[in-house]
Structure 1
Amino acid sequence: MPTLHGKTVESRAEQAGDKTHAQIARRLKLTQSTVSRLLAGKTAPSLRTLLAIKAAYGVPLDDLVLEGAQVPAKTGAAAAG
């Protein structure tokens, strides 16, 4: 499961003037609890969320996902296709 690089997001958010999870949540149009879980690595980010962060804070997608994060391997027919 990919994990959001929370420190990068928090750093870029602070540079943009968003110093709290509530401010980040407002900018990303997410709930504060979702932002807290994402930044703590407890919830995997959706593509929509990654794109929202990229647009809001100018963070390249490659910098948003922690290195070494595991993506589940395809199994069965999906792997063969």
Structure 2
Amino acid sequence: MQDDEKEVRMPTLHGKTVTDRAEQAGDKTHAQIARRLNVKQSTVSRLLSGTTAPSLGTLLAIKGAYGIPLDDLVVEDAPAPAEAGAEAAR
């Protein structure tokens, strides 16, 4: 693979960390997480499944809502999600 053909890799949300902390806070469903973060339920589903990359705003909302350090929220070296910009359309 040539340098200009490198696969783009973006951080993805560490879904297990988020769901574990959400459950501790009493949020057991995607709808409850979405309400706490003030995003659509479909956004939460895409983020937790890894199909959409989280925006900085969403990462900060999760950090604020559940007290998870930013370093613990993302998994680096994951392939770029097919819908990398889809979350912005929330």
Taking structure 1 as the reference length, what is the TM-score of the superposition?
A: 0.83
Aligned to 1:77: none
Out of 9, 23, 33, the residue aligned to residue 18 of structure 2 is 9
Give unmatched runs, 5+ long, in structure 2: 1-9, 81-90
Give me the whole-angstrom Cα distance separating, in 2, the residues matched to 1:33 and 1:11: 19
Give unmatched runs, 5+ long, in structure 1: 72-81
Query: Percent sequence identity over matched residues?
Result: 80
Give me the whole-angstrom Cα distance separating, in 2, the residues matched to 1:70 and 1:34: 19
Aligned to 2:66: 57
Counterparts of 1:25-36 in structure 2, within 5 Å, are: 25-36=34-45
Aligned to 2:32: 23
Aligned to 2:52: 43
Deviations 1:50-73 (A, max 9, x none): 0000000000000000143468xx
The structure that is strand-richer by fraction is 2
- CA RMSD, 1 decimal: 1.3
Q: What count of residue pairs does the alignment treat as equivalent? A: 71
Give me the whole-angstrom Cα distance separating, in 1, the residues matched to 2:67 and 2:79: 24
Give me the whole-angstrom Cα distance separating, in 2, the residues matched to 1:59 and 1:67: 16
Deviations 1:12-47 (A, max 9, x none): 000000000000000000000000000000000000
